[in-house]
Amino acid sequence: MLVVNFLAIDPGKSISGKPITRYTLGRFRLSPLHLFYLRKIEDVYAMGIRSFLKNALVSKELDSQLNKINKPVGSLGYDPWGYNVDANKVAMAIFDYIYHKYFRVEARGIDNVPAEGPVLIVANHSGQLPIDGTLIGYALTSREKNPRVPRAMIERFFPTVPILGNMLNQVGAVLGDPVNCAKILSNNEAVVVFPEGIRGSGKLYKDRYQLKRFGNGFMHLAMKYNAPIIPVGVVGCEETIPAIANIKPLAKMLGVPYVPIALPVVFPAKVILNFGEPIYFDDNVIDEDHITERVEVVKSAISKLIDKGLSERKRLF
Amino acid sequence: MKRTNKPTILITGSAGALAQQVINRMSDSCNIVAVDFREQVYLGDDIPSYRIDFNKRVFEDLFRKYNFDGVIHLGRLIASQETRMRRYNANVLGTQKLFELSHKYGVKQVTVMSTFHVYGAIAYNPALIDEDAPLKAAELTMDLVDSVELENLANIYLWKYPDIHITVLRPCNIVGPGVRNTISLLLSSKYAPVLAGFSPMMQFIHIDDMADAIVVAHKKNIPGIYNVAPDDWVSYQEALQLSGCTRVQIPSIPPSLPRFISRIMGLKSFPVYLLNYFKYPVVIDGKLFRNTFSFKAKKPLKEVFRYYADGKRD
CA distance linking residue B189 with residue B212, whole number of Å: 27
The answer to whether residue A166 neighbours chain B at the CB level (below 8 Å) is yes
Within a domain: B250: no
**Number of H-type helices and E-type strands within chain A:** 12, 12
**Looking at beta carbons, which residues of chain A come within 8 Å of B128?**
80, 179, 183
CATH of the domain at B24: 3.40.50.720
Which portions of chain A are predicted below pLDDT 70? 1-28, 39-40, 42-47
The answer to whether residue B301 neighbours chain A at the CB level (below 8 Å) is yes
Q: What is the mean pLDDT of each run of 10 residues along chain B (314 residues)?
A: 79 94 95 90 90 90 95 81 78 92 95 95 94 89 85 91 94 95 94 94 98 97 96 96 92 89 85 92 97 96 95 79
Range A15-26 burial, b when 16+ CB lie within 10 A, else e: eeeeeeeebeee
A81 and B235 within 8 Å at the Cβ level: the answer is: no
Within a domain: B303: no
Q: How far is B167 from chain A (nearest CA, A)?
A: 25
CA distance linking residue B65 with residue B30, whole number of Å: 16
Which CATH class for the A64-312 domain? alpha beta
Within a domain: B274: no
**Predicted pLDDT of residue B25:** 96
CA distance linking residue B102 with residue B110, whole number of Å: 8
> What would the pLDDT profile of A240-286 be if each residue is shown by its tens digit?
888 888 888 888 887 778 888 888 888 999 999 999 999 999 988 77
**Predicted pLDDT of residue A6:** 47
**Predicted pLDDT of residue A3:** 45
Within a domain: B59: yes
**Predicted pLDDT of residue A17:** 62
The partner residue sitting opposite B252, judged by closest CB among A74, A78, A162, is A162
- Mutating which of A175, A180, A185, A221 best tests the B interface, going by the most B Cβ atoms within 10 A? A175
The partner residue sitting opposite A183, judged by closest CB among B128, B198, B199, is B128
Question: Which helix (H) or strand (E) is A44 found in, with range?
Answer: helix A32-47
Question: Contact B118/B171 with Cβ under 8 angstroms?
Answer: no
Domain around B208:
8-178+204-230+282-298
CA distance linking residue A74 with residue A85, whole number of Å: 10
**Predicted pLDDT of residue B2:** 55
**Predicted pLDDT of residue A37:** 76
Within a domain: B2: no
A80 and B283 within 8 Å at the Cβ level: the answer is: yes
Neighbouring residues of B185: CB distance < 8 A, sequence distance ≥ 6: B268, B269
CA distance linking residue B61 with residue A232, whole number of Å: 71
A78 and B234 within 8 Å at the Cβ level: the answer is: yes
Closest CA to B77 of B48, B54, B101, B100: B54
**Residue type (1 letter), B204:** F
**Predicted pLDDT of residue B3:** 56
**Predicted pLDDT of residue A23:** 65
Within a domain: B260: no
- Mutating which of A179, A180, A184 best tests the B interface, going by the most B Cβ atoms within 10 A? A179
**Predicted pLDDT of residue A2:** 44
Within a domain: B286: yes
Neighbouring residues of A100: CB distance < 8 A, sequence distance ≥ 6: none
**Looking at beta carbons, which residues of chain A come within 8 Å of B280?**
159
Within 81-110 of A, beta carbons closer than 8 Å to B belong to: 81-82, 84
**Other CB atoms within 10 Å distance of the CB of residue A182:** 18
Within a domain: B306: no
ipTM: 0.90
- The domain segmentation of chain A, as residue ranges, is 2-47, 64-312
> What would the pLDDT profile of A99-113 be if each residue is shown by its tens digit?
999 999 999 999 999
CA distance linking residue A58 with residue A48, whole number of Å: 15
Show the beta-strand stretches assigned E in chain B: 8-12, 31-36, 49-51, 70-73, 109-113, 165-171, 173-175, 191-195, 201-202, 204-206, 224-228, 234-235, 246-250
**Domain count for chain B:** 1
